[in-house]
Amino acid sequence: MTLQNKPNDPNQKMTKDESANEIWRKSLLGGEPQLGRVHHLFGLLPSNPRCKICNAPFQGFGRPIMHLIGKRQSNKNPHFCSACESFASTFQGGAEIELTMLFVDVRGSTSLAERMNPTEFSSLMNRFYKETINVLVHFDAFIDKLVGDEVTALFFPGFAGQDHARSAVEAGKKLLDVMGYGQADGAWVPIGVGIHTGVAWVGAISGANGDFKDFTALGDNVNITARLASKAGAGEVLVSEDTCHAARINFKDLEKRELELKGKSNLVSVRVLGAK
């Protein structure tokens, strides 16, 4: 798929939307390396929650450091720092890029909630969010959403590097480790993970009043990733064969499954990673 490029004629002016899309395309693909370096550096500082775009921590000893450089949690949108919220508001738009997506959710969360009191379940979910975000930040993922019992993450070249598919697979394996799979006591929370690589639109979206609302990924490949996560059993990471090829990892000895996914006319091939 051809991505939008700058006009060949230097005298031809770009529209405001085209200019914004070009800025996002360069940032997402690594053409603006400063953003990727900042995302990685801030990820080394504790602690969650963080700005979704630059990774600036809003708590822990990283918080006063961020305040010194003008990065405070936005009053308008608490998922972003004030600087990134202003940037995304100014340059609303996005670009179609190839990236790797990882969705992880708690298996059987409804049954878990029935067996626990609300405080116990809240504590469990908060621990799940914390451990998951720490792993994903370590692998330079962009934390997309925390919804109910699920966390979604995007690995694109500008943040995770050209080996974003491999980073996502390693993150999936690490998630099983930190949740307790493969340990003598077993997992403290049951999770399933779906990973897929493909082209999606990534960028800043607006609400009904036109104000900046969120930064996310949209498209069919995002839906595929979500459905892979829903198909994963407890302790499984389902990796699409598109990701396998992009990651250049030898998966020939791993279990192969052909899955029927809602809304897809063809079967989707995946490989299954499990706990060690």
Strand-pairing partners, residue 95, are 202
Is 158 a member of any domain? yes
Residues in contact with 158: Cβ distance below 8 Å, sequence separation at least 6, in sequence order: 27, 28, 29, 30, 31, 32, 33, 35, 36
Q: For residue 245, what are the CA distances in angstroms to 31, 136, 155, 169, 219? A: 24, 21, 16, 12, 21
Per-residue exposure over 130-164, b if at least 16 CB sit within 10 Å of its own CB, e if not: ebbbebbbebbbbbbbbeebbbbbbbbbbbbbebb
Please state the separation of Cα 254 from the chain's center in Å: 25
pTM of structure: 0.89
Name the domain boundary from 75, 90, 105.
90
How many whole angstroms separate alpha carbon 236 and alpha carbon 14? 47
130 and 84 in a common domain:
no
Per-residue pLDDT of the chain (276 residues; tens, 9 = 90+): 233 344 444 444 456 667 888 988 998 998 888 888 899 999 999 889 999 999 999 999 999 999 999 999 998 888 899 999 888 888 888 999 999 999 999 999 999 999 999 999 999 999 999 999 999 999 999 999 998 899 999 999 999 999 999 999 999 999 999 999 989 889 999 999 999 999 999 998 887 677 788 899 999 999 999 999 999 999 999 999 999 999 998 887 889 999 999 888 899 999 999 866
Give me the helix-helix angle, 164-178 and 118-138, nearest 10°.
150
Question: Do residues 125 and 31 lie in contact, with contact meaning Cβ atoms separated by under 8 Å?
Answer: no
112 and 25 in a common domain:
no
Name the domain boundary from 90, 124, 145.
90
Which phi-psi region, left, alpha or beta, contains residue 274 (left: φ > 0; alpha: ψ -120 to 50)? beta
Question: What's the structural domain count of the chain?
Answer: 2
How many whole angstroms separate alpha carbon 20 and alpha carbon 138? 29
57 and 168 in a common domain:
no
Is 270 a member of any domain? yes
52 and 22 in a common domain:
yes
